[in-house]
């Protein structure tokens, strides 16, 4: 998804970690047919396709009037998972994933960021998936069948059961269950953000070397390693006075504000990151030390479906971000309390 230009570089990089946050999923209906299955089986089939199918194609992202496209590929070979995402517009960026290891490359500046996802599920893809538990917060409504990227797709509306989240319209490939398009809808049903394959091949021959080979050719790159440690927010002196409605904590880590270069001798300042999920969308909370040279004023912004709130809280700077209404982020920040 496009990222607001005013965000600090460490936060842009940290967004990748929110996509990789561990999320539980129970395959209650693996292998079920999408046409006649119950709602949970339909979502389970979509989730399974994203993890286990081999596919490649071009995906187009639209948000806030901005359009960008990326070449994407996903391969599953036994218990090994491989993925690549390469930007086709603007500054060249390449993301390669092999199991839990994620490499983000900027060829023009010869910089590579190496991260380890905070998850035991090495098959979970970078691209969006939907969990069956999302039906606790959304109602799934079939809306017929359409063609996406030359393929027949079943269309579903995930309508929220409250005002704390956005509706999403999904297009799932009839033959495989793979999600071909996802639109985030505002309260007026206007499309806030869309991601869709413009062309896609499903069931391709796996090409793991297309992921592994570029990682063997990093000579001349400045390697930055983004280390992160699992933490408990309450152990760090933070807690929520009330839970974010419908969201549960899926990951909490301490990570550097900037990735650490191999030549660095001093570790960078840390930031705490907590990721919450309702099974469909994620909300990220970042807590760092206040720095007057970087933190000039509070931020309240929205680009497409992505809302961002930044504010000072005593000696700390708080950031909340997610594809949710601004009111949802306000509840999160207002309920965050410093215990010590």
Strand order across the beta sheet in which 282-289 lies: 229-230, 248-256, 270-277, 282-289, 316-322, 306-313, 299-303
The predicted structure's pLDDT at residue 26: 30
Contacts of 8 (CB under 8 A, 6+ apart): 257, 294
More confident residue, 21 or 148: 148
pLDDT at residue 18 tops 50? no
**pLDDT tens digits along 214-253:** 999 999 999 988 778 899 999 999 999 999 999 999 999 9
pLDDT at residue 320 tops 70? yes
Q: Of the given ranges (2-6, 34-38, 276-280, 334-338), which has the lowest mean pLDDT?
A: 2-6
What average pLDDT does the segment 124-137 reach?
Answer: 71
Residue whose tokens read 């000039």:
296
Q: Give which of 274, 271, 283, 340 is closest to 309, Cα–Cα.
A: 283
* Count of beta carbons in the 10 Å neighbourhood of residue 297: 7
For residue 65, how far is the Cα from the chain centroid? Answer: 20
pLDDT at residue 21 tops 70? no
pLDDT at residue 327 tops 70? yes
Report the C-alpha dihedral over residues 81, 126, 84, 88, rounded to 10 degrees.
170
- 78 touches 89 (CB < 8 A): no
At residue 129 the predicted structure's pLDDT band, cuts being 50, 70 and 90, is: low
- Cα separation, 217 vs 211, in Å, equals 11
The predicted structure's pLDDT at residue 226: 78
Please name every residue paired with 145 in a beta bridge, in sequence order, or none if there are none: 154
Q: What are phi and psi of 213, to 5 degrees?
A: -60, -45
The predicted structure's pLDDT at residue 133: 82
What average pLDDT does the segment 47-68 reach?
Answer: 91
Domains of the chain: 9-215 (2.50.20.10), 228-338 (3.30.200.100)
- Cα separation, 332 vs 324, in Å, equals 11
At residue 156 the predicted structure's pLDDT band, cuts being 50, 70 and 90, is: very high
- Cα separation, 194 vs 62, in Å, equals 5
Residue whose tokens read 């500054």:
91
Q: What are phi and psi of 21, to 5 degrees?
A: -60, 140
The predicted structure's pLDDT at residue 323: 94
**pLDDT tens digits along 80-91:** 999 999 999 999
At residue 187 the predicted structure's pLDDT band, cuts being 50, 70 and 90, is: confident
Residue whose tokens read 């990220």:
284
- Cα separation, 308 vs 278, in Å, equals 18
The predicted structure's pLDDT at residue 37: 58
At residue 265 the predicted structure's pLDDT band, cuts being 50, 70 and 90, is: very low
* Count of beta carbons in the 10 Å neighbourhood of residue 253: 19
Q: Of the given ranges (102-106, 116-120, 284-288, 331-335), which has the lowest mean pLDDT?
A: 116-120
At residue 40 the predicted structure's pLDDT band, cuts being 50, 70 and 90, is: confident
**C-alpha dist (Å) from residue 33 to 7, 13, 169, 172:** 43, 38, 20, 12
The predicted structure's pLDDT at residue 50: 87
**pLDDT tens digits along 307-317:** 999 999 999 99
- 306 touches 295 (CB < 8 A): no
pLDDT at residue 299 tops 90? yes
The predicted structure's pLDDT at residue 6: 38
Q: Of the given ranges (31-35, 155-159, 197-201, 249-253), which has the lowest mean pLDDT?
A: 31-35
pTM, to two decimals: 0.82
At residue 267 the predicted structure's pLDDT band, cuts being 50, 70 and 90, is: low
The predicted structure's pLDDT at residue 225: 85
What average pLDDT does the segment 143-151 reach?
Answer: 96
The predicted structure's pLDDT at residue 340: 72
């Amino acid at each position: 998804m496009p990222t607001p230009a005013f965000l600090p570089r460490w936060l842009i990089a940290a967004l990748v970690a929110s996509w990789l946050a561990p999320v539980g999923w129970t395959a209650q209906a693996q292998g079920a047919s999408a046409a006649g299955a119950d709602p949970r089986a339909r979502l389970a089939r979509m989730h399974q396709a994203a993890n286990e199918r081999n596919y490649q194609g071009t995906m187009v992202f639209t948000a806030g009037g901005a359009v960008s496209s990326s070449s994407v590929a996903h391969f599953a070979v036994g218990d090994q998972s491989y993925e690549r995402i390469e930007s086709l517009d603007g500054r060249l960026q390449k993301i390669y994933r092999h199991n839990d290891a994620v490499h983000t490359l900027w060829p023009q500046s010869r910089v590579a960021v190496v991260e380890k996802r905070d998850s035991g599920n090495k098959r979970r893809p970078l691209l969006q998936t939907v969990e069956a538990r999302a039906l606790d917060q959304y109602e799934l409504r079939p809306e017929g069948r359409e063609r996406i990227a030359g393929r027949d797709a079943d269309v579903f509306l995930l309508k929220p059961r409250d005002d704390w989240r956005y509706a999403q319209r999904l297009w799932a490939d009839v033959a495989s269950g793979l999600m071909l398009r996802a639109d985030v809808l505002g309260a007026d049903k206007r499309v806030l953000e869309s991601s869709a394959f413009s062309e896609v091949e499903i069931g391709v021959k796996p090409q793991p070397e297309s992921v592994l080979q570029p990682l063997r050719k990093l000579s001349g790159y400045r390697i930055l390693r983004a280390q992160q440690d699992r933490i408990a927010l309450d152990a760090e002196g933070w807690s929520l006075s009330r839970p974010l409605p419908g969201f549960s904590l899926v990951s909490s880590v301490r990570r550097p504000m900037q990735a650490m270069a191999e030549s660095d001798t001093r570790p960078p300042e840390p930031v705490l990151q907590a990721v919450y999920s309702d099974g469909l969308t994620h909300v990220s909370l970042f807590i760092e030390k206040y720095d007057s040279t970087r933190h000039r004023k509070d931020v309240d912004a929205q680009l497409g479906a992505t809302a961002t709130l930044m504010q000072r809280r005593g000696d700390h700077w708080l950031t909340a971000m997610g594809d949710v209404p601004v009111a949802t982020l306000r509840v999160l920040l207002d309920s965050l309390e410093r215990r010590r």
